[in-house]
Structure formats: structure tokens, C-alpha cells
Amino acid sequence: MQDLTFEAEAGATTGDIAEVEGASASTVRLDAAGEELRFELPLPAGDYTVRVRSMAIEPDTFSEVALTAGEYAMRPQAITNSVFTWQRSHFTQPQDGPAVITMTLREGAGVYLDRVRIHQLTLNETITALHPFERDTTLVADGECRCVIAIADDGSFAAQAETLAAEIERRSGARPETVRGDEITEEHFRSTNVIALGTRESTFALVKSSPDAWRSIPSPPDDGSPQLFTGASTRWWSGASMRRRCRRASMPSSPACRASARWSRRGTHCPRRS
């Protein structure tokens, strides 16, 4: 499974590097037709999605960015927003080998490109065996953590994460790693359990955990009390029913926060608190 995220300025560009409020780092500015941003990388054969975080240079203007993978033309992206948003296009890598992903300004007043994510689709993966769907999640096994704590993208909820990590360490002898929500990747969801603190607006990991349009994450209780949301999806194996449970939980030193825990490939979920 390939899941790669790049800062736009890491690619080769004929545009300019610009500092823009709201960007994760520097951006690539394309303001003349024909200017481009290009990434070259090895990819195994398969179907892929390219997600681009972009913003229009001028409010209320229209710009179109053409995307190609080698000679394959993807769906162009129309960029009109005056805030950074994500758009996606798709392509097929016919065989293992190098891929050249190019984003070219076709027309318009210009755009800022902030980040580019390239990830492989798994809709056609062959299912060789069903995974067990256990009732309990193992956060620590044999002295090793099987979980990671995601805090808000701006570092908020670090204190709550510290309290939670300390409690897990006290009970198990192993301390989970704490990372920012925007650093959580698809590989985290596939290989471990993610405990995300915050909201959909503050912690990008929560959005990543439910990328499908037909799924949603419940809003926190109106009274501000803590909430624990756990969810499993059919994203990496088919035929397993999705189960969701939303309840109020007494989490130590974490007022008005949400924890979202993903199932691992082994199909286990978060333990109940006594």
C-alpha cells in the first residue's frame, strides 16, 4: 500500500515558491499558463488517487490545473476557493516503475499549491481470508505498544495526550508515541490503533479515519462533556460489517475532547472502561 504526502515545494517547478497564510509550509505559486509542478517517484502497478491542497491566488477567480501521470490525463481541478482545500483526481499505473505526476496551470489568475498526497486505491485487492472481529483492542502486547496518540494539528491536546500516555504506561509498562494529527498516514490505520484527540476541525487524523462521504463522525455533546467515538469500516477488507458506537466517556484530564480509535487489521476495537 502506497500512501505518500509531499510538501509542494519538494517537487520540481517552473513556478515560484511563496509564503502564504494557511499553508502547511511554503507553497508553489503558478500564475502563468503552462507553469507546472512535477513529482517523479517509483510506484507499483495499481489505481491511485492524487489529492492536491490548493487555493486561488485571487478571491472569486477561476483557475484550472491539469493533472497528468506520464501520458495519462487525469480529471482537471478547478480552483476557485480563497482558502486551502483538497481536491482529488485518479490515475492508473500500468506496471511497476517510475511515475511522473505533473500539475500544470491551464488557465486562470493562478493558484497556490500547498501539499500533494498520492495513495493507492484498494478497491480491487483480493481478499484471501476474513479477519477475526474481536471485542477488545490490545493497546500493548509483549511490552510493545500497538497504538499511537494523535493530537491536534497545531499541537493542542498535548497535555491530555501526555496524561493518557502516562496512564497506558502505568498499566502496561509501555508508552505510546504521540504525533500530530496531520502526520497520521494510512499506514498507521493499517498497522496499529490510532487514538485521536480533538475534533474534525482540529485533528486531521479524524478526517482521514473516515474518508468516505457516507460516513460521519458525531459532534461532541452540547454540554461539553468528554466523548469516546470508536469506529470500524470496510476500507481494507470487504464483507465485514461496519460497527460504530458513540458514548460519553470519563477520560482523565480531557474535558470536551473526542477520542477516535480505529480498528487494526486484526479487527479489534477499543477496550471498555470499568
Can you give the pLDDT at residue 135?
A: 65
Closest CA to 188 of 123, 264, 269: 264
Q: 3-state DSSP: the chain helix, strand, coil percent, rounded to 5?
A: 10, 40, 50
Residue-wise pLDDT tens digits, 109-167: 999 999 999 998 865 566 677 766 666 778 999 999 999 999 999 999 999 999 999 99
Nearest to 208 by CA among 119, 145, 112: 119
Q: What pLDDT is stored for residue 123 in this prediction?
A: 59
Half-sphere exposure of 186 (CA within 13 A, CB side): 14
Confidence of residue 15 (pLDDT cuts 50, 70, 90): very high
Can you spell out the DSSP letters for 94-162? -SSEEEEEEEEEEEES-EEEEEEEEEE--TT----SPPP--SS--SEETTEE-EEEEE-TTSTTHHHHH
In this predicted model, which residue has the larger pLDDT, 263 or 145?
145
The answer on pLDDT for 214 being more than 60 is no
Rounded to whole angstroms, the Cα distance separating 153 from 117 reads: 17
pLDDT tens by residue, 59-113: 889 999 999 999 999 999 999 988 899 999 999 999 999 999 999 999 999 999 9
191 against 158, higher pLDDT:
158
